[in-house]
Amino acid sequence: MNEQGNKVIMETYKRFPIEFVSGEGCILTDSQGKKYLDFVAGIAVNSLGHCHPGFTEAVKKQLDTLVHVSNLYWTKQGISLAQALVKYSGLDQVFFCNSGAEACEAALKLCRVYAKLYKSPDAVEIIAMDQSFHGRTYAAITATGQKKYQKNLEPLMPAISHVPFNDIEALKKQITPDTCGIILEAIQGEGGINPADPAYLKEVREICDRENIVLIFDEVQTGIGRTGALFAYQKYGITPDVVTMAKGLGGGLPIGGIIAKEKFAKAFTPGSHASTFGGNPLVCAAGNYVIETLMSDGFLADVQKKGDYLKAKLTALKEKHTCIKDVRGMGLMIGVEVDKAPGEIVAKAMENGLLLVGAGDSAIRFVPPLVVTEAEIDQAVEIFEKAL
């Protein structure tokens, strides 16, 4: 399989020598019939697990009706998903695209357009965070605060700078009258599962209000129930001006988008931004089912409960294994900092039927489907301990 794939697919990933052929719930089955407990979930994408019956039925029903017509026309599915996101986010208007990188690109464009119209023609500076990750398109990769992702891509986009995460004084020093936007993650995902300090976010919000700076929260990974709230900012009691989303929203189908306060959303006008496939009926039918399920009685509270359970189990391992240096995160987005090579632990866990993924240079990420059970968490932690 490796040899066949590498002949025809660009080697932008170092893929494991496994071919998955089916899935159900939190279990994946490979071409040899071996089963794996999936705590990667497509990198925090398969929010309802694999082949969720209701999700599958909703998508099949839409396939039989209408798949794509472009954004030259309205569709019920797109409007209803936008209405639900506005209702539950506390923001006002939605733009749909296809991925997290596109969502961040849209947000970065929006803050510059807004500033040109309503602040100053010179207000083009965007501040991002060290150790952040925002995607692979040019503005998004420039905003990403990790040099390893920018190798051989210079020159990068102009007027995007970085400051240390959770350092309010460094941020204050970087702000000028020409600052138009600040972009950050409530919990840095690819940077190693690093949560923001609540006091820090509160002060960032106050600065942006005072200086007329657009505050963007990248919730591509933390959003759509991952932290036990629909969006992580809701756990902090801070509302951004623009929030990006993708990953879990489509439950496995590709959809992304931004939600913005009306004050900022109005900066986009016909022709200023677009996406051919964005928000088509098929992916919006999937998104509608995901949001309806997440916002049903008790679902997010159960995610929080299971996240607390997973974190407690992993914290207990820290007391037994000196190689574990930290356990951090929120909801079902937990990182375990280790002083061994994370890749070796991930590989050993995989041998024993558990899928995990690294985060940053020294952390291992636990992001199972939101429908994971406590029994599956027990099984995963047992395999992880053996891998250590």
> Which pLDDT tens digit goes with each residue over 71-105?
999 999 999 999 999 999 999 999 999 999 999 99
Q: Does residue 208 sit in the same domain as residue 272?
A: yes
Q: Does residue 201 sit in the same domain as residue 99?
A: yes
What are the distances in angstroms from CA 386 to CA 216, 347, 357, 372, 381?
Answer: 40, 12, 16, 21, 9
pLDDT above 80 (res 70)? yes
**Last residue of some domain: 251, 278, 294?**
294
Q: Does residue 198 sit in the same domain as residue 307?
A: no
Q: Which string of DSSP letters, residue by residue, matches 186-224?
A: SEETTTTSEEPPHHHHHHHHHHHHHHT-EEEEE-TTTTT
Q: Is the peptide bond before 155 cis (omega within 30 degrees of 0)?
A: yes
| Number of compact structural domains in the chain | 2
> Which pLDDT tens digit goes with each residue over 154-196?
999 999 999 999 999 999 999 999 999 999 999 999 999 999 9
Q: Does residue 43 sit in the same domain as residue 158?
A: no
pLDDT of residue 185: 98
Q: How confident is the model at residue 340 (pLDDT cuts 50, 70, 90)?
A: confident
Q: Does residue 126 sit in the same domain as residue 210?
A: yes
Instruction: Work out the mean pLDDT of the chain and round it to a whole number.
Output: 97
Q: Which domain holds residue 46?
A: 2-52+298-387
Q: Does residue 194 sit in the same domain as residue 308?
A: no
Q: Does residue 167 sit in the same domain as residue 138?
A: yes
Could you tell me the CATH number of the domain that includes residue 22? 3.90.1150.10
pLDDT of residue 305: 98
CA dihedral 109, 114, 119, 125 (to 10 degrees): -10
Q: Kindly state the average pLDDT of the residues 9-33.
A: 95
Could you tell me the CATH number of the domain that includes residue 121? 3.40.640.10
> Which pLDDT tens digit goes with each residue over 291-328?
999 999 999 999 999 999 999 999 999 999 999 999 99
Q: Does residue 278 sit in the same domain as residue 329?
A: no
Q: Does residue 153 sit in the same domain as residue 103?
A: yes
Q: How confident is the model at residue 269 (pLDDT cuts 50, 70, 90)?
A: very high
Euclidean distance between CA atoms 173 and 373, whole angstroms: 46
pLDDT above 70 (res 1)? no
Q: Does residue 249 sit in the same domain as residue 368?
A: no
In a domain, residue 59? The reply is no
Q: Does residue 321 sit in the same domain as residue 364?
A: yes
pLDDT above 90 (res 284)? yes
Euclidean distance between CA atoms 111 and 352, whole angstroms: 47
Q: Kindly state the average pLDDT of the residues 114-143.
A: 98
pLDDT above 80 (res 368)? yes
Continuous segment of H or E residues that includes residue 268? none
In a domain, residue 57? The reply is no
pLDDT above 70 (res 110)? yes
Q: Does residue 109 sit in the same domain as residue 228?
A: yes
Euclidean distance between CA atoms 228 and 370, whole angstroms: 9
pLDDT of residue 356: 98
In sign, the C-alpha dihedral spanning 86, 87, 89, 92 is positive
**Last residue of some domain: 277, 294, 311?**
294
**Last residue of some domain: 274, 294, 314?**
294
